[in-house]
Amino acid sequence: MSAPTAAALAHTKRVCSLYKKSLRSLESWYDRRHIFRYQAVLMRARFDQHKNEKDPTKIAQLVADGERELFEKQHFQPKKFAMSPGGVAFEREVIPPDWVLDYWHPLEKAQFPEYFARREKRKQEYVTWWEKQYGKASTTDSHH
């Protein structure tokens, strides 16, 4: 990718990010949907007003001004999605790693015979793949 293309891509991503953050900020300020939509349309018009700007210096200044305005007008208690970082349910449900199943008691494993048979088969397939990819572990490797 050439430098101008990468710079244009970075600029586009920055503008899209600014737009999305601005929408989220409006959502925090306006809890009535019709008022939020009206404000969102006004904000979109401000973005569209400058979409054909060609001067890189002016473009950079517009984005910087937009980011500063967003910072100055941010909500004191922004809305957060429950499952997103900072949300009330973020990482609430801890999914245990697969190796925990290796420590199940045989009577527990006996309640799910098909699952554990398939799991053992897949573990063996993985070991075979690993040894084919990287070679067998030597006895000196296991004694550090």
Selection from 18, 88, 82 nearest residue 46 by Cα: 18
pLDDT (tens digit, 9 = 90+) per residue, 65-86?
Answer: 999 999 999 999 988 889 888 8
Asked if residues 27 and 73 have their Cβ atoms less than 8 Å apart, the reply is no
Q: pLDDT by residue for the chain (144 residues), tens digit each?
A: 555 666 667 888 999 999 999 999 999 999 899 999 999 999 999 999 998 888 889 988 999 999 999 999 999 998 888 988 888 899 888 889 999 999 999 999 999 999 999 999 999 999 999 999 998 877 665 555
pTM above 0.75, yes or no: no
Rounded Cα distance, 139 and 93, in Å: 40
